Amino acid sequence: MNAPLTHASACGGIDLHREDGQRAVFCGLTGIVWLHRKIRDAFFLVVGSRTCAHLIQSAAGVMIFAEPRFATAIIDERDLAGLADCNDELDRVAARLIERRPDIKLLFLVGSCPSEVIKLDLSRAAQRLTAKLSSVKVLNYSGSGIETTFTEGEDACLAALVPDLPREPAEAPPSLLVVGALADVVEDQFLRMFAAMGIGDVRFLPARHAGSMPAVGRGTRYLLAQPFLTETARALDERGAKRLAAPFPLGAEGTTGWLTAAADAFGVSQATFEAATAAGRARADTALAPYREKLGGKRVFFFPDSQLEVPLSRFLARELGAELVEVGTPYLHRAHLAAEIELLPAGTRVTEGQSLDDQMDRCRAARPDLTVCGLGLANPLEAEGLATKWSIELLFTPVQGYEQAGDLAELFARPLARRALLEV
Ligand code: SF4
């Protein structure tokens, strides 16, 4: 049953629906694929099954490292049957790993469906291992498909970091914290832009190294760089940090709105803001121009997957003139997405949650020009003649900020060009 949750005017003029039913979304383990590249001295040890190992391996399959920063401690039949002591086994695996890899400073024990089923207490295991392995901090979070979808893995990981972040003294001057894993190149661009605005004390969560995680306190003002960080934001709020309400830095408009929130909070004058951002905005505008022709008027359907769907659809509709058939999202955080919802065209159908068959029916009936969805849905839809974009690519590719606006548009334009070629 697709029961409209609220009337349109209650949520920024969008047509909001809520669905429950079968879902087709990756589990939170997927986040390891980009997180292990971000925190360079961290290691992600999935406590899971061979299925978990295959998922991580195939999701990360394109990346070959001499020394990978993730692995799976396999729970096998003996463990599931309660015949082996999983804690002993886990301690053995962790000790061997740290002995072999002294460069590891932060070890995440990542829970999975099997570790949840056998009720393995990874938080106690993390405490025990932190005491045993003196050179390494051990934390835990869940990436299980029972508890998390896809990008919620990053949220759970960052939320696990917050209690251990250094405490900023109460009298410290305000600092800016950017929350959410961003490509290094994007972080560096934002740092330069904040510096040009006169905001000098800018920190990032996660930091690039375990030993340089940011201090957080009452003076911390934070900007979410990703829309899926509900638990992380909650943990930061509890520490006394204050969230700056903003759209997300996708496309030129979103980036300007995001930077404006920081500028307002730190008393940056309009003239300084203009001077710091004008060149970037102009470059983004130039980069986007050819895509307005390619994507203008194209009908786009989003399946719920990454939680990036609302900001992405705002970008497509407002900056490239695309038409939004339906915007699916696994969860709609009303507060974090308030600025985005305000910007969506009035009447946009937004579906929170998923009933896969119903949504597939609506997609097939609509025959959109482009469908943004998970890997599992893309092949069948392509076989039915629909052009698709894998939403996971939007997490692996640097897409935030002015300099990446053109690359972001290209990600959506490419499947249309490929399909056009196939049709020829
Ligand atoms: Fe599958 Fe669960 Fe492992 Fe994810 S955590 S790969 S959903 S078994």
Q: Using a 6 Å cutoff on CB, does residue 51 contact ligand 1?
A: yes
Rg of the chain, C-alpha, whole Å: 22
pLDDT at site 318: 98
What's the mean per-residue pLDDT of the chain? 91
What ipTM describes this predicted complex?
0.99
Strand partners, 108: 44, 139
Between 37 and 372, the more confident residue is 372
Q: Are 387 and 416 in contact (CB under 8 A)?
A: yes
363 annotated as belonging to a binding site for a ligand: no
pLDDT at site 113: 92
Strand partners, 224: 179
Q: Using a 6 Å cutoff on CB, does residue 256 contact ligand 1?
A: no
On whether the pTM is more than 0.90, the answer is yes
Question: 318 alpha carbon to ligand 1 midpoint, in Å?
Answer: 37
Tell me the DSSP string of 285-331: HHHHHHHHHHHTT-EEEE-SSSS-HHHHHHHHHHHH--EEEEEEES-
- What average pLDDT does this structure show over 255-266? 98
- In ligand 1, which atom is closest to the CA atom of 113? 2
Residue 150, SS3?
coil
From 130, 124, 120, 51, select the one nearest 84 (Cα to Cα). 120
Alpha-carbon span 182 to 257, nearest angstrom: 18
Per-residue model confidence as pLDDT tens digits over 4-14: 443 344 566 88
Contact residues for 245 (Cβ-Cβ < 8 A; gap 6+): 261, 335, 338, 339
Alpha-carbon span 101 to 130, nearest angstrom: 16
Alpha-carbon span 238 to 163, nearest angstrom: 10
- What average pLDDT does this structure show over 346-366? 94
Please name the amino acid found at residue 364: R
Positive or negative, the Cα torsion across 303, 304, 310, 312?
A: negative
Question: 148 alpha carbon to ligand 1 midpoint, in Å?
Answer: 10
Confidence of residue 119 (pLDDT cuts 50, 70, 90): confident
Question: 147 alpha carbon to ligand 1 midpoint, in Å?
Answer: 10
Question: 51 alpha carbon to ligand 1 midpoint, in Å?
Answer: 6
Per-residue model confidence as pLDDT tens digits over 65-95: 545 777 777 766 666 666 567 888 889 999 9
State the Cα torsion 11-343-313-202 to the nearest 10°. -110
- DSSP, res 207: -
Q: Using a 6 Å cutoff on CB, does residue 53 contact ligand 1?
A: no
For 56-168, strand residue ranges (E) read 70-74, 106-111, 137-142
